[in-house]
Amino acid sequence: MKKTFQLATIAFLATFMIGCASTSQLEADIESLKAQMASVSAEAAEANQRSKAAEATANRAEQTAADTNSKLDRMFKKSMMK
């Protein structure tokens, strides 16, 4: 009985120690994931900023094309009146 109790105690302590090691490993994994998440979030913010800049450039190009088209139309109408 005493031997069984000692073995049970040793088994319990071993399980407890493994559980603690697993918990610390999980905490380390969580910290690693938090760091990765922060990095990905920063990259996403940068990508969003770049997409907004690209959209602004495209809008300016569209406006320039519309202005040029309007100017060409006026030039064509002027030449047709002569």
- Give, as one character, the DSSP assignment of residue 43: H
- Which of these, 50, 53, 75, 49, lies nearest to 61 by C-alpha position? 53
Question: What's the rounded Cα separation, in Å, for the pair 38 and 44?
Answer: 10
pTM of the model: 0.56
pLDDT digits (tens, 9 = 90+) for 19-71: 665 778 878 888 999 999 999 999 999 999 999 999 999 999 999 999 999 99
Which DSSP letter does residue 75 get? H
